[in-house]
Amino acid sequence: MSMTTRAAVCREPGRPWEITELELDEPKANEVRIKFMAAGMCHSDDHIQKGDAQMRFPVVGGHEGAGIVDAVGEGVTRVKVGDHVVCSFIPACGKCRYCSTGRQNLCDEGKNASTGEFPDGTFRFHQDGEDFGGLCVLGTFSQHAVVSEYSVIQIPDDIPFEIAALVGCGVPTGWGSAVHLAGVKAGDTVVIYGAGGVGSNAVQGAALAGAERVVVVDPVEFKREMATVFGATHTFASAKEAHDFVVESTWGELADHAIITVGSLHDQVIADALQVVGKTGQVTITAVGNGWVDEHPGMFIGYQRRVQGGIFGGCNPLHDVPRLISLYRSGKLKLDELVTRTYKLDEVNQGYQDMLDGKNIRGVIIHEH
């Protein structure tokens, strides 16, 4: 048996998102079907649509999503029908080498993120005999989707879906970039490049960790203003202004950490970040794009500087997602303020244009049922 679902799909790189109806299979063993209520509009989906990142096409967009479990396959133990859940854009099987050593963000079950293919080599979305993969084997831009139980985390029923959706990618990726990957400590000086949906949470993570100076670099005035809401102590429109401030305020010792969360990684921001950190300083690269690390080894050897790449903020979703929700409920983590605008599914292309125009910290699709 199958059902029909309405979804935003991209048929080939460079084509806009298209709203269409797809056939959706029933969940198989260890799979669940989710009735999505909200989906976050992450920049990664735009990279896919633009052809800037590898993906199998056609694809159902969306990897941030929250909703209600409305069907389960055989053997499912993590959730049951009726549970409110958020999707983790990287699954956590709990059994592979990386999950079993506390590195769930590197779970082996995430291997098909760029194809949308299930481990048995099949797909759950179809149209006229053609298979559609869900981005990260999710596809939250669909009203319904079938996903692995490893990709779902139960949430309290009182958490708004539009808030919960963001805790599956953007929030832990940014927050964890500061807390886990950078390991920010009390009294540190941290420079964050890019204050969008991920960078705003890197700001929150650095502030919660006790950084003395949380310095944000972003050319968009609105994002700089919002960064102060999330805990930035100083904001600048250019990297040079930030560098000059760091030199002066640290008496030339420079920053302890630089975190790169710009919309699209490029050579210059990497160079700026390397120049702003001092002895034993670390540059954490979370942004994706086409930038290259082009620096003489002496820059790393003499001052013991480090460059750290990271995915999902180094988070363990089964632990960190509930913890972030708990911080939100206690008032220590701002999530409502991240949602600048909400959109209907039909408005997905407008939502991404607003993001590119610098109007949004995060846009969220509210599914209509």
Report the catalytic residues: 42, 44, 47, 63, 169
- SS3 track for the chain: CEEEEEEEEECCCCCCCEEEEEEEECCCCCEEEEEEEEEECCHHHHHHHHCCCCCCCCEECCCEEEEEEEEECCCCCCCCCCCEEEECCCCCCCCCHHHHCCCHHHCHHHHHCCCCCCCCCCCCEEECCEEEEEHHHCCCCECEEEEEHHHEEECCCCCCHHHHHHHHCHHHHHHHHHHHHHCCCCCCEEEEECCCCCHHHHHHHHHHCCCCEEEEECCCHHHHHHHHHCCCCEEECCHHHHHHHHHHHCCCCCEEEEEECCCCECHHHHHHHHHHEEEEEEEEECCCECCCCCCCCHHHHCCCCEEEECCHHHCCHHHHHHHHHHHHHCCCCCCHHHEEEEECHHHHHHHHHHHHCCCCCEEEEECCC
**Distance (Å, rounded) from C-alpha 3 to C-alpha 8?**
16
Q: How many CB atoms lie within 10 A of CB 256?
A: 24
Q: Is 313 exposed, middle or buried (CB count within 10 Å of its CB: 0-12, 13-18, 19+)?
A: buried
131: phi then psi, degrees, rounded to nearest 5: -85, 135
Q: How far apart are alpha carbons 164 and 301 in whole angstroms?
A: 42
